[in-house]
């Protein structure tokens, strides 16, 4: 094509490459700013859809993890209460053994019975207040704890562990006479066995919760790594690309400036 003031092929070509460089530079800067090579459907619709599905799974697993954390706290409180009740039962057994001594007078027996009854009240107080997030596994009328273990709705049950005086049958006799003292000792022994059984059950439930929690956390980490593998930008590569594109942009601007000077040569044709 000859020289023309209406059409400048060199400038148009330079402008095309400059626009292309500018577009690539914008993409690179966006990747650096967000840390993502796929930040939306416009970048890569298929990859973005896969990443969103994985993110939804991660969100669901995080919700499951929060539920497991709450369940662990409920069980922790129940275990603490059971251990405290177990310690009280040890003291009650000591009192019952002492009350079994036929040489005790009525005053001493009355004192021992008062001490025993106070410990019974403590058992009820502990059992009634061992609550977390509105859930109490050891009070009278407690209900089992259902724990969701994955985003598909699977669950397992932590059994209730009622440990108040009426459940442990601690109020069925007194210490004022020797036969009743012997009965009370047997009742305390049975109560200790019951509490130890509940402690074993709660301990097993806590271990199971910890196993499920660890598995859930590991799966979350795996999914997060998977999302990162498909959408995260390689910042070292993007940094090198940014510098290269910036140089290309500067060269493109210079090429466009040179191309825009070409029409000036037409003026020399009309001089002298």
Domain CATH code at residue 162: 1.20.1330.10
- pLDDT digit string, tens, across residues 136-156: 999 999 999 999 998 888 999
* Cβ contact 139:162 at 8 Å: yes
Residue 115 or residue 104, greater confidence = 115
What integer is the mean pLDDT of 61-77?
95
Q: Decide if 40 is inside a domain.
A: no
The per-residue pLDDT for 87 is: 95
Name beta bridge partners: 158.
145
What integer is the mean pLDDT of 121-138?
93
Q: Which domain holds residue 21?
A: 9-35+233-269
* Cβ contact 130:77 at 8 Å: yes
CA proximity to 96, closest of 81, 115, 124, 121: 115
- pLDDT digit string, tens, across residues 239-250: 888 888 888 888
pLDDT at 197 over 70: yes
The per-residue pLDDT for 225 is: 93
Q: Name the band, by pLDDT with cuts 50, 70 and 90, for residue 89.
A: very high
The per-residue pLDDT for 175 is: 66
Q: Decide if 48 is inside a domain.
A: no
* Cβ contact 41:231 at 8 Å: no
The single-letter DSSP state of residue 56 is H
Cα–Cα distance for residue pair 68/194, rounded to 1 Å: 26
pLDDT at 6 over 70: no
Q: Decide if 67 is inside a domain.
A: no
Report CA 43 to chain centroid distance, whole Å.
Answer: 31
Same domain, 207 and 238: no
Same domain, 147 and 90: yes
pLDDT at 129 over 90: yes
What integer is the mean pLDDT of 179-188?
81
What integer is the mean pLDDT of 12-30?
83
The per-residue pLDDT for 263 is: 73
* Cβ contact 19:245 at 8 Å: no
Same domain, 209 and 219: yes
Q: Decide if 161 is inside a domain.
A: yes
Cα–Cα distance for residue pair 71/249, rounded to 1 Å: 59
Cα–Cα distance for residue pair 153/172, rounded to 1 Å: 44
CA proximity to 264, closest of 5, 15, 2, 13: 5
Report CA 122 to chain centroid distance, whole Å.
Answer: 35
pTM of the model: 0.77
Q: Decide if 51 is inside a domain.
A: no
Cα–Cα distance for residue pair 174/99, rounded to 1 Å: 10
What integer is the mean pLDDT of 160-170?
90
CA proximity to 28, closest of 41, 17, 39, 18: 39
The per-residue pLDDT for 5 is: 64
pLDDT at 85 over 70: yes
Q: Name the band, by pLDDT with cuts 50, 70 and 90, for residue 81.
A: very high
Same domain, 207 and 118: yes
Residue 113 or residue 202, greater confidence = 202
What integer is the mean pLDDT of 84-113?
88
DSSP helix, strand, coil percent of the chain (3-state; round to 5): 70, 5, 25
The per-residue pLDDT for 199 is: 95
Same domain, 221 and 241: no
Same domain, 122 and 174: yes
What integer is the mean pLDDT of 200-220?
95
Question: Alpha-carbon torsion 205, 206, 207, 208, what sign?
Answer: positive
Same domain, 171 and 249: no
Number of folded domains in the chain?
2
Residue 264 or residue 205, greater confidence = 205
Per cent of the chain over pLDDT 70 is 95
Same domain, 217 and 262: no
Same domain, 256 and 180: no
Same domain, 183 and 207: yes
Q: Name the band, by pLDDT with cuts 50, 70 and 90, for residue 172.
A: low
What integer is the mean pLDDT of 215-234?
92
Q: Decide if 173 is inside a domain.
A: yes
Instruction: Record the tokens describing residue 253, joined without a space.
Output: 């601007």
Same domain, 18 and 80: no
Q: Decide if 49 is inside a domain.
A: no
Cα–Cα distance for residue pair 81/36, rounded to 1 Å: 50
For residue 190, give the H/E element and its range. Answer: helix 178-231
Same domain, 249 and 157: no
Cα–Cα distance for residue pair 214/209, rounded to 1 Å: 9
Q: Decide if 240 is inside a domain.
A: yes
* Cβ contact 82:163 at 8 Å: yes
What integer is the mean pLDDT of 243-267?
81
């Amino acid at each position: 094509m000859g020289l023309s003031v209406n059409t400048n092929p060199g400038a148009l070509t330079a402008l095309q490459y400059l626009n292309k460089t500018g577009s690539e530079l914008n993409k690179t800067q966006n990747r650096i700013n967000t840390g993502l090579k796929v930040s939306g459907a416009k970048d890569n619709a298929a990859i973005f859809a896969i990443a969103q599905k994985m993110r939804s799974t991660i969100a669901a697993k995080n919700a499951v993890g929060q539920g497991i954390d709450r369940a662990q706290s409920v069980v922790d409180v129940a275990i603490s209460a059971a251990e405290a009740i177990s310690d009280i039962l040890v003291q009650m057994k000591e009192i019952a053994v002492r009350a079994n001594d036929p040489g005790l007078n009525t005053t001493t027996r009355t004192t021992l019975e008062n001490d025993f009854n106070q410990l019974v009240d403590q058992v009820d107080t502990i059992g009634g207040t061992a609550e977390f997030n509105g859930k109490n596994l050891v009070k009278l009328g407690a209900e089992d704890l259902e724990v969701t273990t994955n985003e598909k709705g699977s669950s397992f049950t932590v059994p209730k562990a009622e440990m108040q005086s009426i459940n442990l049958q601690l109020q069925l006799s007194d210490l004022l006479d020797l036969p009743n003292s012997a009965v009370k000792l047997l009742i305390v022994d049975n109560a200790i066995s019951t509490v130890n059984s509940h402690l074993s059950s709660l301990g097993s439930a806590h271990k199971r919760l910890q196993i499920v929690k660890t598995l859930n956390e590991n799966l979350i980490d795996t999914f997060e790594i998977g999302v990162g593998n498909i959408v995260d930008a390689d910042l070292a590569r993007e940094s090198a690309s940014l510098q290269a594109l910036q140089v290309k942009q500067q060269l493109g601007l210079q090429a466009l400036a040179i191309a825009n000077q070409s029409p000036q040569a037409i003026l020399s044709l009309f001089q002298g």
